[in-house]
Amino acid sequence: MTRAVVAVAILLTAVPAAAQRLPDTVVPEHYTLWFAPDLEKETFRGRQTIQAVVTQRTSSITLHAAELEFGEVRITSGGRTQTARVTLDPKAETATFTVPAPLAEGPVSIDVTYTGILNDKLRGFYISKANGRKYAVTQMEATDARRAFPSFDEPAFKATFDVSMMVDARDTAISNGRVIADTPGPEPGTHTISYARTPKMSTYLVAMIVGDFVCREGSSDGTAIRICSTPDKRDLTAFALEAAEHQLRFFNNYFGIKYPFGKLDIVAVPDFAAGAMENAGAITFRERLLLVDSERSSVNARKTVAGIISHEIAHQWFGNLVTMKWWDDIWLNEGFASWIASKPLADWRPQWQVELDDAQETQSALATDALRSTRAIRTRVETNEQINEVFDAIAYDKTSAVLRMIEAYVGAEPFRKAISSYLTRYSYSNAAGEDFWTEVARVTGRPVDRIMKSYVEQPGAPVLAIANRCVGGSSEISVTQSRFLSSPGAPVPAQTWILPACFKTGGSAPRCELITAREQRATATGCDSVFANADARGYYFSEYAPEVVRSLGKSATALKPVERLSLLGDEWWMVRAGRHTIDSFLDLTAMLAADETPAIAGVIASRLTVVANNILDADERGAFERWIRDRFGPALTALGFPGAQSDADDLQTRRATLAMLVGVIGNDPEVQRRARELAGRYIADPASLSPSLAPTVLQVAAVSGDRALYDQYVAQLGTLAAQPEEYYRFFSALSWFRDPALVKATLDLALSPSVRTQDTGTLLAGLLERPWAREATWAFVTAQWKALVDRLGVFQGIPSVVGGLGAMCSTRASADIKAFFARNPTPAVERGLLQSIERVENCAALDARQSPPLAAWLAAR
């Protein structure tokens, strides 16, 4: 086992990173771009002029180009025009233009005609299909603008862009700037749309979106905002518009810099690889993440939609106005947008309690950071594969969590001022991590630079081991920090962090200390058990003695909901790391079983699912299921199932979680029967169930559902194409059917034309989550690997599948996965694969270690 892991680890460092960075001897300043997409033939023609500056006399210019065919290339410099010879390097994705007479230093103009393909891999300039029509859409980030136009396709080469497009007379087209002209022709059956010049920006933010889109119009602070979709979904754009209008105003105020891109279009496209993309002034979205019914949608759907819109609008400042110099600092984009996304939501819908979602985001970052194969926030990247792989939980969730900690440390308003100052200083330009933390330290006068450096440059997260004694009515706390690893017995690298930690006892006010040493002392008022992450804003694990956990659990009402969430997370990880046995965690869940915070019930349910799926032995299943029903059944009965439609969102969400817990983990036949009945009623009349309860009802019903029910779900997919939220309720529920024949039916569906390629990866990852479908899904993935890679491309779908493999839980599974990928090397998912293998091995170790204490704990019930 050890040897195989080492062998894989060597792979990670041994792959030669082909440096593809362009020289800076030619620097672009302005692009004039013309496109004529042909949706029928799935091709396009392009014509462009790049105005650039030669900084060093040269007779060749190298820029990026991929899957483009060049016509004529002419270069004008010093009043002389020369025709260039074009040399392509498909591997490096570059084109080199060479002219007979060298180009002197100074301005140069590059004219290019070329053609390209509208590919089906959802990257670059690609084809999308819906309602019997075709659409052409772009997704440039990270390294695919070069598939749409020859370009200096690196984030630091910022330039301005004039875009125009000649499209079918029946289609419209959206780009970054507002429309400044729309004239018929020049070719028959077409019109040509020209867009206002963009501000200076990176190539990965250019957007072209072509098809029969319709838009709902609004505005905010004088900026025109439109939410656009295919015509059949226009009724689902009102909620997004309301959210976007509020958020734009919020960010204008927060940053103290007016929205910099003129107008804002937000477009739902039928096929989309990512969740959404922040193209300057022309944001693109996966349909299900933008389009919801204002009246009949679940609170989760509304929160998700509002949260992602907020993330993408925030990017217009963080990322688009100020951009990282290179992709190793992608956290400057993604972490900031993730961190700030909840701010306008808290202002707009305080009842959503987004601080609980933030606390869960911190937990999910810690879950990745507990792995040996995690990475530092800033990681060196050179190849396209490496660049694409750093858009991960570390860039998004960990950075976001670290920023939350720093904001709490320096204070919200000083932090806001520092951010505004940083954005002003680097507007229309690029910055590195150091530029950010130096500015925040300068403006706030606090050692933010030291804290951030310790968090950005080293991998993993600290665990603070807490012990305290009572001295004269106060707690004297000793804090020992070390790196936390979830694999029991793994060698711990010597690392220390500089971090603010906040302690509280009972109901006392928190006291915060800057922890700088491996061992340090702190104090807190009062002598009750010390809780070491007040407000749950710290990015670290806390380790308490088991009796302290018990005492904190007993007086849990003295903790805020976010703190209880954090306590549950800490205790879970202590069990996973073999520092505590599972009974302390189970006792804690029992103490919190009646907690009315839906997020607490959600965390308990997901952890107990892991216990049931991976640790529990067959002969103890009956006892465990009984315990679940006894412990959580009464709360469900009290709430009623389905209860009243008019119940508040919070109550519906908690009810759904309890139904899942009792119905699936508790295997309660009555709850399952009730769910099947409700599912049948819901299919006949979608208004019969609360939208927040419906997804769970469909899943619980599926667990004991037969072929007839399955066929009903599949039939729904055919009729719900125009209602994404409802479509995905049924789609996501397919993986919950336990019958092996139905698992096989879902696997066959995954690669069939009736499932969009954007959804294949998530469907397979869902199946890998279910213990009853894991083996069959793994067999399917290995048998169909080539077909999967061909259909999806390695950058979309495949990362989800490889991530999903991490849900398996045996030493045999980890050996199988390693052997398979040794035969099928896939550089685009190298780190993801290492992390999945480590997760599988950790889970197998967890099973081996915690099975006996689990059995003993159950026997004592």
Radius of gyration, CA atoms only, the chain:
28
Binding segment (CB under 5 A) for Zn ion, from list 287-295, 328-336, 414-422, 786-794 = 328-336
Q: Is beta strand 85-89 parallel, antiparallel or unpaired with respect to 541-543?
A: unpaired
- Residue found under tokens 């019914």: 293
**Residue 334 or 726 having the CB closest to Zn ion:** 334
Nearest to 224 by CA among 183, 284, 291, 282: 282
CB of 276 to Zn ion, least distance (A): 8
* Helix (H) or strand (E) segment spanning residue 766: helix 757-769
- Residue 216 phi/psi, 5° resolution? -100, 130
312 is catalytic: yes
Kindly tell me which of 334 and 830 has the beta carbon lying closer to Zn ion. 334
Task: Kindly give the residue spans of alpha helices, DSSP state H, lying in 125-277.
Answer: 238-255
Tokens of 279: 């193209």
Q: Which stretch binds Zn ion (CB under 5 A): 65-73, 126-134, 330-338, 841-849?
A: 330-338
Which residue stretch of 245-253, 333-341, 555-563, 636-644 sits at the interface with Zn ion (rule: CB under 5 A)? 333-341
* Interacting positions 812-831 with Zn ion (CB under 5 A): none
| CA–CA separation, 367 and 375 (whole Å) | 12
Cβ proximity of 329 and 432 under 8 Å: yes
The answer to whether the Cα torsion of 171, 173, 179, 183 is positive or negative is negative
Segment interacting with Zn ion, rule: CB under 5 A, options 14-22, 142-150, 331-339, 677-685: 331-339
Q: Which residues contact 464 (CB under 8 A, 6 or more apart)?
A: 479, 480, 481, 501, 515, 532, 540, 541, 542, 543
Q: Which C-beta is closer to Zn ion: that of 436 or that of 544? A: 436
* Residue span binding Zn ion (CB under 5 A) among the ranges 14-22, 101-109, 336-344, 730-738: 336-344
Which segments of 160-263 are extended strands (E)? 160-168, 172-175, 179-184, 190-195, 208-211, 214-220, 223-229
Task: Please say whether the beta carbons of 464 and 481 come within 8 A.
Answer: yes
Helix (H) or strand (E) holding 385: helix 384-389
Range 437-456, binding Zn ion (CB under 5 A): none
- Least distance in Å: CB of 334 to Zn ion? 5
Of the ranges 143-151, 327-335, 420-428, 540-548, which one interacts with Zn ion (CB under 5 A)? 327-335
The residue nearest Zn ion at its CB is 337
Return the number of the residue (337 or 604) whose C-beta is nearest Zn ion: 337
Closer to Zn ion by CB, 112 or 341: give it.
341
Helix 707-719 × helix 694-703 angle, to 10°: 150
CB of 478 to Zn ion, least distance (A): 40
Give yes or no for a contact between 320 and 280, defined as CB atoms under 8 angstroms apart: yes
241 in contact with Zn ion (CB under 5 A): no
Closest CA to 463 of 501, 436, 489, 425: 501
As beta bridge partners, residue 52 has 28, 108
Which of 173, 210, 305, 337 is the binder for Zn ion (CB under 5 A)? 337
Q: Which of residues 650-709 bind Zn ion (CB under 5 A)?
A: none
In the bound complex, what is the minimum distance in angstroms from residue 409's beta carbon to Zn ion? 24
Minimum distance of Zn ion from residue 274's CB (angstroms): 8
Shorter beta-carbon distance to Zn ion: residue 395 or 465:
395
Which lies closer to Zn ion via its Cβ, residue 334 or residue 355?
A: 334
Q: DSSP states of 94-131 as a string? A: EEEEEEEEEEPSEEEEEEEEEEEE-BSSSSEEEEEEET
The active-site residue, picked from 141, 245, 287, 312, is 312
Distance CA 798, CA 501 (A): 39
* 314/451 with CB nearer Zn ion: 314
- Side chain identity, residue 294: S
Q: What is the total residue count of the chain?
A: 861
Please identify which residue in the block is written with the tokens 């491309």: 793
- Peptide bond before residue 642 is cis, with ω within 30 degrees of 0: yes
**In angstroms, what is the minimal distance from the CB of 845 to Zn ion?**
34
Q: Which helix (H) or strand (E) holds 282?
A: strand 282-286
CB of 426 to Zn ion, least distance (A): 18
| Binding segment toward Zn ion, per CB under 5 A, in 38-46, 151-159, 337-345, 445-453 | 337-345
DSSP-assigned beta bridge partners for residue 219: 224
Minimum Å gap between C-beta 193 and Zn ion is: 27
Q: For Zn ion, which is the closer residue by CB, 337 or 611?
A: 337
Provide, rounded to whole angstroms, the least separation between the CB of residue 325 and Zn ion. Answer: 17
DSSP sequence for 255-270: HSS--TTS-EEEEEES
Q: For residue 11, with 0-12 CB atoms within 10 Å meaning exposed, 13-18 middle and 19 or more buried, which class applies? A: middle
Q: Which is nearer to Zn ion, 324 or 524 (CB)?
A: 324
331, 325 in Cβ contact below 8 A? no
* Alpha carbon distance 506, 563 (integer Å): 12
Whole-angstrom CA distances from 258 to 66, 250, 423 are 36, 10, 11
Number of residues that bind Zn ion (CB under 5 A): 2
Element (H, E) at 570: helix 561-576
CB 195, min distance to Zn ion, A: 23
Nearest CB to Zn ion, comparing residues 204 and 710: 204
Q: Least Å distance between CB 609 and Zn ion?
A: 29
Beta bridge partners of 234: none
Q: Which of residues 341-370 bind Zn ion (CB under 5 A)?
A: none
Who's near 544: CB < 8 A, 6+ residues apart? 466, 529, 530, 532, 552, 570
Which CB, 306 or 337, lies closer to Zn ion? 337
Respond yes or no on whether the N-terminal peptide bond of residue 142 is cis (omega within 30° of 0).
yes
Q: Which stretch binds Zn ion (CB under 5 A): 332-340, 376-384, 595-603, 816-824?
A: 332-340
Q: Are the beta carbons of 556 and 594 closer than 8 angstroms?
A: no
Nearer to Zn ion, 123 or 849 (CB): 123
| Region from 19-27, 329-337, 442-450, 535-543 binding Zn ion, contact rule CB under 5 A | 329-337
Beta strands 462-471 and 541-543, pairing class: parallel
CB of residue 644 to Zn ion, shortest distance in Å: 38
Q: Which two tokens stand for residue 47?
A: 């014509």
Phi, psi of 342, rounded to the nearest 5 degrees: -80, -15
Smallest distance from the beta carbon of 144 to Zn ion, in angstroms?
16
Chain residues that interact with Zn ion, rule: CB under 5 A: 334, 337
The catalytic residues are 312
